A and B are shown apart, each in its own frame.
Chain A
């Protein structure tokens, strides 16, 4: 016996070595559970992504099939096209208008709503309410509020004898107006996430800071914001991506106008593809959009690694 058992591992291993079929049993079970996701992702995410990249090298026919290979011509065309450059510029401006302001507003609201006060639940519900209002519904409401004659904004200006503003009709103001309405629409979601982040911060940290006699803003700077940084990074990324993806409010508020000043990239893709039937150039624009979001996500992962410090 002892001679056999002196090297039990090898002995047993050669004796009943399980076959490939047996050994892969767990992987096969797992794939069964993952199959629905994998199929759906393949059909509706991966294949279309490759198809988009593929189409971006072609001129297409009406049915969206590749017709003539043109190499990088679609991209060259875009980079030379003032319309696309304008759209890219508008998108970047829009991101700049909406993301920092939106996050600051939501952070302000989340900090307010994180205080332990009577009736705070009511305020939290109100602050998160815009998440329950669809882009289409809010756009319609804002369209009315921006209305040049009966809209609430201009009535308000009139009250103080300020000059009237053509909110959505003036190329100078249209993008800002859309940005204001977008900030409002996104506040609910950002608020909810930031409030969740605030509530995850350990109470004891504040208690020990109070014992040390730290004031509100000192605690905010030294405890709250550092501890909240992972959540902040997350919501910044989400807001960035959301801003790049803006579509509904453009379609309802301005239709890309006036003078193309609000022709954001997704709206531009939509028009190029489904109004002008230029699927090749539309796909090239989609690839640009993909790259923008890829960069934003990679940045999040990079910065996100810093989270480890705080947990």
Chain B
């Protein structure tokens, strides 16, 4: 299907203008992160030179490396936890028909109607009573079970032909080995989607880390940004923006690499 040239020009113009406006804040932050104080005050868009002073200083002011590591551990932890917990549940829903499965399924759906913020007060006390404040498990464990993730995987598991299950039964594969050796490898793409989604959302989580970290030991980068901003506002925006760029690079990279996959996978999980 070919488009006429004027139509093409219209589309490219709209595409480009939208892209420039939408991406502007990110580019702007990137530019600021190389500027000195006076440059920022002058209101320039391009820095005079791309020197890394602000980046060096942001790592000096904050234990940013620590925060990055913490964020990475927490995000990877939640990602793995979600993959394990959700794939087990999805497997039961698809491959083990049992009485009461509808009821359990309804329980899962109902968790989607309970916003995390409505339960954060008791959750905070649970973590506190377990002595899990400032621990990785306090940051990760509450997010392992995820109804959305279970549905997304269930959707994909349902496309596995039932004959594959039967052939494995004839071959003598138990349910757990069928899960490990057939279901998981066949569903690689969905697992990657859910993994990327879990990593991304956890990396960007703000309220919960704010509640359950009271010192720097397991604090994540997002909280680091808040600290940085409240310390630096008056003085040095360049340093703050350097922090911002450091924090968003991992997730942007993940997104750029997995955009196609994520879009396909999320749509599948969202709609049956």
- Comparing A27-35, A68-76, A78-86, the segment that makes contact with chain B is A27-35
Q: Count how many chain B residues have C-beta atoms less than 8 Å from C-beta atoms of the other chain.
A: 94
The contact of A294 among B113, B120, B262, by CB within 8 Å, is: B113
Determine whether B192 belongs to the interface, using a CB cutoff of 8 Å to chain A: no
Distance, CA A294 to CA B115, complexed state (A): 9
In the complex, what residues of A have CB within 8 A of residue B115's CB?
241, 244-245, 289-290, 293
A286 in contact with B259 (CB, 8 Å): no
Is B121 touching A52 in the complex (CB atoms < 8 A)? Answer: yes
Question: Which of A93-101, A171-179, A247-255 contacts its partner?
Answer: A247-255
Q: Which residues of A contact B (CB under 8 A)?
A: 24, 26-27, 29-34, 36-38, 40-41, 43-49, 51-52, 55, 63-64, 108-109, 112-113, 115-117, 120-121, 123-138, 140-145, 150, 152, 155, 184, 187-188, 192-193, 195-197, 199-200, 210, 230-231, 234, 241, 244-245, 247-248, 251-252, 266, 269-270, 273-274, 279, 282-283, 286-287, 289-290, 293-294, 297-298, 307
How far apart sit A126 and B25, CA to CA, in the bound complex (Å)?
12
Closest approach, in angstroms, between the C-beta of A7 and any C-beta of chain B?
27
Interface core residue of B26, B84, B141 (most chain A CB under 10 Å): B26
What residues on A are CB-neighbors of B107 within 8 Å?
38, 41
Contact A234 B15, CB 8 Å, known A196-B266, A251-B226, A287-B118: no
Q: Which of B1, B19, B210, B268 has the most CB of A within 10 A?
A: B19
A290–B121 Cα gap in the complex (Å)?
13
Q: Which residues of A contact B264 (CB under 8 A)?
A: 196
**Can you list 24 residue pairs at the A/B interface with Cβ under 8 Å?**
A40-B141, A45-B145, A46-B111, A52-B119, A117-B12, A121-B260, A123-B19, A127-B18, A127-B22, A133-B252, A136-B206, A140-B243, A141-B28, A150-B40, A152-B43, A193-B270, A195-B263, A196-B263, A245-B115, A248-B206, A279-B121, A289-B117, A290-B115, A293-B118
Chain B residues with CB under 8 A of A279: 121
**How many angstroms between the C-alpha atoms of A124 and B18 in the bound complex?**
11
Residues of A within 8 A of B99 (CB): 24, 27
Q: Does B108 contact A (CB under 8 A)?
A: yes
Q: What 8 A-B pairs have minimum CB-CB distances, sorted nearest first?
A: A196-B267, A134-B204, A40-B145, A48-B119, A132-B255, A48-B122, A33-B92, A51-B122
Q: Is the CB of A45 within 8 A of B266?
A: no
Task: A117-B8, A131-B255, A193-B266 are known; give 18 further A-B pairs, CB within 8 A.
Answer: A24-B99, A40-B142, A40-B144, A44-B119, A123-B19, A127-B22, A134-B203, A136-B247, A143-B229, A144-B237, A192-B259, A196-B268, A197-B271, A231-B267, A231-B271, A245-B115, A293-B114, A294-B113
Asked, given contacts A40-B142, A41-B107, A141-B28, whether A286 binds B96 with beta carbons under 8 Å apart, the answer is no
Decide: A230 near B271, CB < 8 A? Known: A130-B22, A132-B252, A134-B247: yes
How far is B272's CA from A24's CA once the two chains are assembled, in angstroms? Answer: 30
Residues in A with CB closer than 8 Å to B23 are: 126, 129
The residue in chain B whose Cβ has the minimal distance to the Cβ of A206 is B1
Q: How far, in whole Å, are A27 and B96 apart by their CA atoms in the complex?
A: 8
Chain A nearest CB, measured from B64 CB (Å): 13
Check A123–B259 contact: CB distance below 8 A.
no
CB <8 Å contact, B14 and A37: no
Is the beta-carbon distance between A37 and B88 smaller than 8 angstroms?
Answer: yes
